Amino acid sequence: MRPIQAVRGIQDLPLEQLRGAGVVGFILDLDNTLVPPGSDEVPGETRRFLADLRRLGLLSVIVSNARSERADRMGQALGLPVVSRARKPFGRGYRRALGLMRLPAAKVVAVGDQLLTDGAGAWRQGIPLYLVDPLSHREAFLPRLARPFDRVLRRLLFGRREV
Ligand SMILES: [Mg+2]
């Protein structure tokens, strides 16, 4: 599996194919991957995606840099365990998520919208990343600050201009 692959969004993840390849766990970013940043609204695509994961018997954990109050609340709303204040790209959050699922990195993929946090973090753990387009362009200060660099990296890697 390539270390980083770009897809439009979570609805385009090849879940059955991944399961066939031995993937049983997903490390999911929260803001701009599952829900619009700072929003408590859960998009229909996200509900369908999480239902598909459950139907296929796949495990998942949210690993988010968001503060714990919000991340925990969203984890409850989505019915998923959460590692909040994960400080991606550092490794602690990924290791905790693997521990929660009791899985080795080789059986897990990560999903996120930012190369500098989700991409670099997963790379350091040897976990392949599915890079999604961000759900919304309204976001908090730090991710917004990082966004231009992220765009340049995306273009270098994938030649995509629309994000
Ligand atoms: Mg994000």
Residues, beta carbon < 5 Å, ion ligand 1: 29, 31-32, 113
CB-based contact 86:61 (threshold 8 Å): no
Cα(37) to ligand 1 centroid in Å equals 8
Q: What is the pLDDT of residue 54?
A: 96
User: What is the b/e burial string over 7-35, where b = at least 16 CB atoms within 10 angstroms of the residue's CB?
Assistant: eebbeebebeebeeeebbbbbbbbbbbbb
Cα(20) to ligand 1 centroid in Å equals 27
CATH for 4-158 is 3.40.50.1000
In terms of Cα–Cα distance, which of 104, 100, 103, 134 is closest to 117? 134
Cα(54) to ligand 1 centroid in Å equals 22
Global pTM value: 0.90
What whole-number distance in Å separates Cα of residue 6 and Cα of residue 42? 22
Give whole-number Cα distances, 134 to 17, 24, 35, 36, 162, in Å.
Answer: 24, 24, 9, 8, 11
Cα(113) to ligand 1 centroid in Å equals 5
The ranges assigned to domains in the chain are: 4-158
Range 87-104 average pLDDT: 97
Cα(142) to ligand 1 centroid in Å equals 11
Q: What is the pLDDT of residue 161?
A: 53
45 or 38: which carries more pLDDT confidence?
Answer: 45
Please give the mean pLDDT across all residues of the chain: 92
Q: What is the pLDDT of residue 160?
A: 62
Range 112-134 average pLDDT: 95
Q: Is residue 163 pLDDT above 60, yes or no?
A: no
Q: What is the pLDDT of residue 82?
A: 97
